[in-house]
Amino acid sequence: MCSAKILKCRDYHVFPHRLIYWGFTSIWFGRTDVASVTPWLAPIVWEGTFDATVIDSIYKQQNITVATTVFALGKYIRFLKDFLESAEEHYFVGFQVHYYLFTDQPEAIPNVKLGQKRYLTVKKVPSLNRWQDISMGRMEMLEKLIENELAKEADYIFCLDVDAKFYGRWGVESLGRLVGVIHPWFFDLPRFIFTYERRPESQAYIPAGQGDYYYTAAAFGGSLKDVHHLTKTCREHLNTDAANSIEAIWHEESHLNKYFLYNKPSKLLSPEYLWRDISMGAGQVKIVRFSHVTKNNAEVRPNL
């Protein structure tokens, strides 16, 4: 008989640096308090499910570039400094990152010192009168960016909200063909509570009883090919909805959830990869890596 307690002690003596937190949370045991694999056998990344040193050394040999898109229009430009500075501290540190910043105010971009092999390209775009249109419009701009510019420039892409900050490592453990992030509000709630679009008239419709997880649109990514297909499909569905005078309940996030239902992500990131500063801690979340800052929506958005 091999008791877990004995294994824990043995592990602790031989590899104390690999023992993460109390109990059985080590890379030898994985996590026992959360699911770390989906029903379709995609990994769900939580602290304690990977060894940063091992996974870094694998990707170091591949000379990868991670394109990272961020939109800062109107008053959201104020979030950019913290976003970039914290990314330089925690996001794919030691790897090539190319930020693509979409903004209506290139002159207001803060001067943030980027590390070696880290680049920033600015795309000037017009602002819009509705925050919902800014948020939804990202899908089309991402689709075109990948199509027109990224083919030879990057291997992976992540698309991130700007009103957020990095607090801990976000590294190559997050890479995959198609990557979704579990929304921090819904990770421990039953499916019937998920705020999917429920009107059959919308292209984002998900019938009751269907759906796997509720994903955030504040962070998603993957290979260029897969994210291109995602953004193109969501853009087409958004256009169809607009032509039919319907707007999904949570805008492009509703369409993203529909997409992920029929195109399962090959990797999921736990809410460690998108928390909310305003939320209380949760026992399962041992580290907050990226988190939405608290903002006054009425003050920063162009409309209510």
User: Which residues within the stretch 43-62 sit at the binding site for ligand UD2 (CB under 6 A)?
Assistant: none
d(CA 121, CA 118): 10
In the complex, minimum distance from the CB of residue 71 to ligand UD2, in angstroms, rounded to a whole number = 4
In the complex, minimum distance from the CB of residue 269 to ligand UD2, in angstroms, rounded to a whole number = 13
Number of Cβ within 10 Å of residue 148's Cβ equals 8
Query: Does 255 appear as a known binding residue?
Result: no
Residues 6+ apart with CB under 8 A from 218: 160, 161, 164, 181, 274, 292
* Residue 134 interacting with ligand UD2 (CB under 6 A): yes
Q: Rule CB under 6 A: choose which of 26, 216, 231, 266 binds ligand UD2.
A: 216
Tell me if 46 sits within 8 A of 31, measured CB to CB: yes
Greatest Cα pair distance, the chain, in angstroms, is 67
Q: Rule CB under 6 A: choose which of 59, 131, 260, 275 binds ligand UD2.
A: 131
Q: Rule CB under 6 A: choose which of 88, 197, 241, 253 binds ligand UD2.
A: 253
Query: Does 70 appear as a known binding residue?
Result: no
* Residue 250 interacting with ligand UD2 (CB under 6 A): yes
d(CA 135, CA 127): 11
Active site residue 143: no
* Residue 218 interacting with ligand UD2 (CB under 6 A): yes
Site string for ligand UD2, 71-110 (x = CB under 6 A): xxxx-x----------------------------------
Q: Rule CB under 6 A: choose which of 135, 174, 223, 233 binds ligand UD2.
A: 135
Q: What residue ranges bind ligand UD2 (CB under 6 A)?
A: 71-74, 76, 131, 134-135, 161-163, 183, 216-218, 250-253, 292, 301-302
Q: Pick out the residues of the known binding site.
A: 76, 161-163, 183, 195, 253
Binding-site residue numbers for UDP-N-acetyl-alpha-D-galactosamine are: 76, 161-163
